[in-house]
Amino acid sequence: MSKPKHPGFATRAIHDGQEPDLSTGAVSVPIYATSTYVQDELGKHRGYEYARVSNPTRDRLEKNLASLEGGVASRVFASGMAAINAICAMFKSGDHIVCGNDLYGGVPRLFNQVLSGYGFEFTFVDTSEARNVERAIGKKTRMVYVETPTNPLMSLSDIKAIAEITRRKKIELVVDNTFMSPYFQQPIALGADMVVHSTTKFLNGHSDGLGGVVVCTHQEQAEQLGFVQKAAGAILSPFECWLVLRGTKTLAVRMLQHDCNGRKVAEFLAGHKKVKKVFYPGLKGHPQHELARRQMTGFGSMITFETGSLANAARILKRVRVCTLAESLGGVETLISHPATMTHAALGEKGRKAIGLTDGMVRISVGIEDVDDVLADLDQALA
Ligand SMILES: Cc1ncc(COP(=O)(O)O)c(C=O)c1O
């Protein structure tokens, strides 16, 4: 029987880049734990010279992730932040970047406290209105950087509308797709030029390894990023590549369960008298619910809710038993966190106030446990 011509997402997740090893037949991709490779004679090697430049396990993961996002190639890095930094390393001092004003806190920290020192210029705008992006673009603008949905306010940006602007202006659109994963959102199909992920989250899915990826739509981007891997060296180790390869095999089924549990938890929180507001694109009351239905094929499991005060948030976070109080998201276990003092502490009080991030907000990454246990846990913590 011949192979399917257009294999579906779950099939590609399990097979693309995950083919059995040619020399041994091992069904699971081998972990090539080597720093260097034998050369047959001077100037003659078998495609691999030194592990910072390339590694067969890494090649497999890069192929797998490119397939899932619909790109031509991808490059993996030691963390999501290393991937974002690698994209910026493709630009030059004096270049201008337009980015969302409500991003994962580590991104403005990198932009404002590291890269601005090298002559990069940044303008932060509310990208949920595409016209704000257009207004901020100037002669020196090289890239628009968008996170959708945003962390932690779950605000959406219209990828297609922004891509129409960036294409007209001949600049690159980069979308951070960490919250939705390629299972629920396909930014490249909507017009993005590159997609970035913290693979630490849903792609790995088991909270056991850091990583980042940039998925490219042109071979030249992949070559430039490959050069950044070789020159700057923040590559993903073979073992951590393997962890992500193992993770993506179950991405489709995990995302379906995350989404199913996420919807139930969001409905529960929305109906709870102690919860002032719930930020979840799957709720009809979310201001961009219609865009979410158009742009995504699920709503995922990231939810932020307003408890009213720091004291209320602290009390809930101390009382949870099934939910784990920890930074990060996208693992099989439900992780609960306090953005103001954890993921977004680096923004400072003024920065958080400017985007409406309060001390009473709690963020939850709903896992794939039995959802009734998560609901009962939240119920007792809120009581
Ligand atoms: C949306 C998003 N992008 C990027 C990052 C950075 O990824 P990493 O922690 O793997 O460096 C994070 C981390 O939480 C994130 O939430």
CA distance 239 to 256: 27
Considering the candidates 95, 102, 158, 176, report the single residue annotated as catalytic: 176
Amino acid at 253: V
**Terminal CA-CA length for the chain:** 58
* Cα(196) to centroid(ligand 1), Å: 10
Q: At what angle do helices 371-382 and 251-270 cross, to 10 degrees?
A: 30
CA distance 38 to 36: 7
Cβ of 200 less than 6 Å from ligand 1: yes
- Ligand 1, from 178, 210, 338: best to mutate by most atoms within 8 Å of Cβ? 178
Amino acid at 312: N
* Cα(273) to centroid(ligand 1), Å: 32
DSSP H helices, 296-332, are: 310-319
Is it true that the peptide bond before 108 is cis, omega within 30 degrees of 0?
Answer: no
Q: What residues does 75 pair with on adjacent strands?
A: 214
* Cα(4) to centroid(ligand 1), Å: 35
CA distance 130 to 146: 11
Structural tokens at position 235? 């590559």
Cβ of 79 less than 6 Å from ligand 1: yes
**In Å, how far are 4, 263, 306, 327, 372 from 382, measured between CA atoms?**
50, 18, 12, 20, 15
Cβ of 176 less than 6 Å from ligand 1: yes
E strand or H helix that includes residue 374: helix 371-382
CA distance 72 to 66: 6
Closest residue to atom 16 of ligand 1, CA basis: 104
Who contacts 360 (Cβ-Cβ below 8 Å, separation ≥6)?
276, 306, 307, 308, 309, 310, 312, 313
* Annotation marks residue 104 as catalytic: yes
Say how far residue 280 (Cα) sits from the centre of its chain: 17
By DSSP bridging, strand 212-216 and strand 73-77 are antiparallel
- Ligand 1, from 102, 109, 114, 201: best to mutate by most atoms within 8 Å of Cβ? 201
**Cβ atoms within 10 Å of 352's Cβ, excluding its own:** 20
CA distance 306 to 137: 34
Q: Is the separation of the CB atoms in 215 and 195 below 8 Å? A: yes
Say how far residue 7 (Cα) sits from the centre of its chain: 24
Closest residue to atom 8 of ligand 1, CA basis: 80
CA-based max dimension of the chain: 74
Cβ of 212 less than 6 Å from ligand 1: yes
- Ranges of residues in the chain with a pLDDT under 70 are 1
Is it true that the peptide bond before 182 is cis, omega within 30 degrees of 0?
Answer: no
* Annotation marks residue 44 as catalytic: no
DSSP H helices, 171-250, are: 181-184, 219-232, 238-249
What residue ranges in 189-341 does DSSP mark as E strands?
A: 194-198, 212-216, 277-279, 302-306, 324-325, 335-337
Considering the candidates 12, 58, 60, 201, report the single residue annotated as catalytic: 201
Instruction: Tell me which DSSP letter residue 137 carries.
Output: -
Q: Which residue has the tokens 């949920």?
A: 128
* Annotation marks residue 58 as catalytic: no
Rg of the Cα atoms in the chain: 21
* Cα(36) to centroid(ligand 1), Å: 30
* Cα(203) to centroid(ligand 1), Å: 12
What is the reported pLDDT for 363?
98
pTM of the predicted structure, to 2 decimals:
0.97
**Cβ atoms within 10 Å of 278's Cβ, excluding its own:** 22
What is the reported pLDDT for 3?
78
What is the reported pLDDT for 4?
83
What is the reported pLDDT for 1?
61
